[in-house]
């Protein structure tokens, strides 16, 4: 039934033997077992595996940690998590880390067999999609489309690979990452590599829409529905018909509208306000947020069913401080931009500045780096190299604390101080502080509320 082996990972030898015998009896004759999770990655390096059944609680390595490592290197292998403890938070985290399904021990055999069959069918379908994608790439190498993204980081090249995998499909895609990491840019790349590339790409920042206007902006309205509705209005969804709609800051969508978005995804249709006739849609939905939507699901602030509908394909945009030498590559690029903008001839950075940039956490990510470098270029006079940059001290990681070990400030606390300092500088104006911090006013208000609650 399967070409390559099914791998079962569990620290209980008796359970491994029991599961292997059960699967053999059900026709899955190619089954291998591993009791030590530390051996799994090496095993995957030398053996093609079609499916993994993984336990969570193992002494050598937590199953969630192993799941994350597997998904990072072998995202095409479906992993079914089977564990004796059923906790919603663990299940949600497993799904977030890439698990195909979460099943409680002892598993219901019918459900287990159905899940295995679906997982193997899914892998086969993905393999066929990859084959099609490779054929398309031979005709038109897609990597050219990433040439405007400056990076030499393996983690970013992994992002490019995921874009190439997801783009030819029609799946909903969910992009997460901090503010300023380029989620909107990656959404556009997915569209540009998709069969819908010639159709509209409509980007909507939900954080910038007044709550009272959400429904009319997204779905439109019919003439005469209310005072001022002097003509039919086409909403963002209808405007994107045939192409792609990108819902940035999807975590800001009010609960009342989350159900309508879910229905739109399920039935591919919308209703304009005041109209009883549906508008049929053929579009792709890409969404993004800098919030932890799983936490929002746990707090009942975001619908779990909508989260999973949006998250059929997942891309994580790494923060700049995780991209290694990209910091200096980008700094040099922005230096060239600054030279052109301000008619300067700066040739680079002093060693001290390079070391400072490498040890800065960049809470505003690439956008912040761009602002820092352009500001430094503008303020330089008669120098060949930039010899100093202005950075908030609370975000600079000390190189040594006296015992040879790096000392780190808790980023969450440093972020609080930075927010409060900016607020103080602008006279506690949320409207003025939000663009300086690179967030929406609503996001900033939420962060300020959380800070007050934590400090009271």
Instruction: Enter the tokens of residue 69.
Output: 């490592």
Most distant CA atoms of the chain, gap in Å: 80
Q: Which residue has the higher pLDDT, 254 or 245?
A: 245
Arithmetic mean of pLDDT, 134-161: 73
Q: Does domain 6-133 have CATH number 3.40.50.2300?
A: yes
Arithmetic mean of pLDDT, 56-61: 84
The least confident of 99-108, 146-155, 354-363 is 99-108
Phi, psi of 228, rounded to the nearest 5 degrees = 100, -15
Which has the closest alpha carbon to 292: 182, 204, 177, 438? 177
Which has the closest alpha carbon to 173: 190, 155, 195, 151? 190
Is-contact 265 309, C-beta < 8 A?
A: yes
In angstroms, the CA 304 to CA 260 distance is 14
Burial (0-12, 13-18, 19+ Cβ within 10 Å), 144: exposed
What are the residues whose beta carbons fall under 8 Å from the beta carbon of 428, sequence distance 6 or more? none
End-to-end CA distance of the chain: 61
Q: How confident is the model at residue 294 (pLDDT cuts 50, 70, 90)?
A: confident
| Per-domain boundaries in the chain | 6-133, 141-318, 321-391
Residue 400: the pLDDT is 43
What is the value of pTM for the model shown?
0.58
Instruction: Enter the tokens of residue 181.
Output: 């990491």
- Would you call 27 helix, strand, or coil by DSSP? coil
Please, where are the H alpha helices in 323-440? 326-342, 351-358, 365-379, 411-425, 430-437
Instruction: Enter the tokens of residue 394.
Output: 């609370």
| Residue 384 DSSP class | S
Assign a CATH topology to domain 141-318.
Answer: Rossmann fold (3.40.50)
pLDDT, tens digit, for every residue of 349-358? 988 888 889 8
Q: How confident is the model at residue 446 (pLDDT cuts 50, 70, 90)?
A: confident
pLDDT, tens digit, for every residue of 98-114? 888 888 878 888 888 88
Q: How confident is the model at residue 176 (pLDDT cuts 50, 70, 90)?
A: very high
Q: Do domains 6-133 and 141-318 have the same CATH topology?
A: yes
pLDDT higher than 60, residue 407: no
Percentage of the chain surpassing pLDDT 70? Answer: 87
Which has the closest alpha carbon to 236: 217, 253, 254? 217
In angstroms, the CA 282 to CA 280 distance is 7
Residue 139: the pLDDT is 40
Is-contact 253 214, C-beta < 8 A?
A: yes
**Quick one: how many helices (H) and strands (E) in the chain?**
18, 14
Residue 127: the pLDDT is 58
pLDDT higher than 50, residue 302: yes
pLDDT higher than 50, residue 403: no
The least confident of 109-123, 260-274, 424-438 is 424-438
In angstroms, the CA 115 to CA 109 distance is 10
Residue 455: the pLDDT is 66
Q: Which residue has the higher pLDDT, 396 or 334?
A: 334
**326 to 100, 184, 323, 403: CA distances (angstroms):** 33, 19, 6, 29
**Over the Cα atoms of the chain, what is R_g?**
25
Write down the mean pLDDT value for the chain.
84
Residue 162: the pLDDT is 93
Residue 397: the pLDDT is 56
Residue 251: the pLDDT is 92
Conformational region of residue 343, where left means phi above 0, alpha means psi within -120 to 50, and beta covers everything else:
left
In angstroms, the CA 52 to CA 43 distance is 12
In angstroms, the CA 398 to CA 382 distance is 30
Q: How confident is the model at residue 194 (pLDDT cuts 50, 70, 90)?
A: very high
Arithmetic mean of pLDDT, 161-183: 93
Assign a CATH topology to domain 321-391.
Answer: Helicase, Ruva Protein; domain 3 (1.10.8)
In angstroms, the CA 294 to CA 302 distance is 8
pLDDT higher than 80, residue 392: no
- Would you call 173 helix, strand, or coil by DSSP? strand
> How many CB atoms neighbour CB 83 within 10 A?
22
The least confident of 54-63, 73-82, 237-246, 437-446 is 437-446
Is-contact 97 63, C-beta < 8 A?
A: no
- Residue 346 CA, chain-centre distance (Å), reads 36
Arithmetic mean of pLDDT, 247-268: 92
Arithmetic mean of pLDDT, 342-355: 88
Residue 395: the pLDDT is 57
């Amino acid at each position: 039934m399967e070409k390559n082996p099914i791998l079962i990972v569990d620290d209980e030898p008796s359970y491994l033997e029991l599961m292997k015998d059960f699967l053999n009896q059900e026709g899955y004759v190619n089954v291998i077992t591993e009791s030590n999770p530390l051996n799994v990655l090496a095993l995957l390096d030398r053996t093609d595996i079609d499916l993994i059944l993984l336990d969570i609680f193992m002494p050598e390595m937590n199953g969630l940690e192993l799941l994350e490592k597997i998904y990072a290197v072998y995202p095409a292998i479906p992993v079914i998590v089977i564990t004796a403890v059923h906790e919603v938070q663990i299940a949600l985290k497993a799904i977030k880390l890439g698990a195909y399904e979460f099943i409680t021990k002892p598993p219901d055999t019918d459900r287990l067999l159905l899940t295995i069959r679906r997982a193997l069918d899914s892998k086969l379908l993905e393999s066929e999609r990859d084959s099609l994608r490779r054929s398309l790439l031979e005709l038109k190498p897609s990597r050219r489309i990433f040439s405007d993204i400056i990076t030499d980081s393996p983690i970013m090249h992994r992002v490019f690979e995921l874009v190439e995998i997801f783009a030819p499909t029609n799946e909903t895609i969910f992009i997460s990452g901090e503010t300023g990491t380029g989620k909107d840019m990656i959404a556009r790349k997915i569209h540009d590599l998709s069969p819908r590339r010639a159709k509209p790409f409509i980007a909507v920042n939900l954080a910038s829409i007044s709550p009272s206007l959400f429904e009319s902006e997204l779905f439109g309205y019919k003439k005469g529905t209310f005072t001022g509705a002097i003509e039919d209005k086409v909403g963002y969804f209808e405007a994107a018909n045939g192409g792609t709609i990108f819902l940035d800051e999807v975590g800001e969508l009010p609960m009342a509208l989350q159900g309508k978005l879910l229905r739109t995804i399920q039935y591919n249709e919308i209703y304009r306000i005041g109209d009883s006739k549906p508008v049929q849609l053929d579009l792709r939905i890409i969404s993004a947020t800098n919030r932890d939507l799983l936490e929002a699901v746990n707090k009942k602030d975001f619908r779990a069913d909508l989260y999973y509908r949006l998250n059929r394909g997942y891309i994580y945009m790494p923060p700049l401080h995780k991209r290694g030498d990209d910091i200096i590559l980008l700094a040099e690029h922005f230096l060239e931009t600054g030279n052109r903008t301000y008619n300067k001839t700066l040739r680079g950075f002093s060693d001290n500045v390079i070391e400072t940039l490498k040890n800065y956490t960049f809470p505003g990510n690439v956008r912040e780096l761009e602002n820092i470098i352009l500001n430094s270029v503008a303020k330089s006079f008669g120098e060949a190299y930039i010899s100093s940059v202005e950075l908030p001290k609370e975000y600079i990681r000390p190189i040594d604390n006296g015992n040879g070990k790096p000392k780190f400030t808790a980023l969450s606390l440093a972020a609080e101080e930075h927010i409060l300092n900016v607020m103080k500088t602008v006279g506690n104006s949320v409207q003025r502080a939000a663009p300086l911090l690179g967030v929406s006013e609503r996001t900033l208000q939420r962060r300020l509320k959380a800070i007050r609650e934590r400090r009271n």
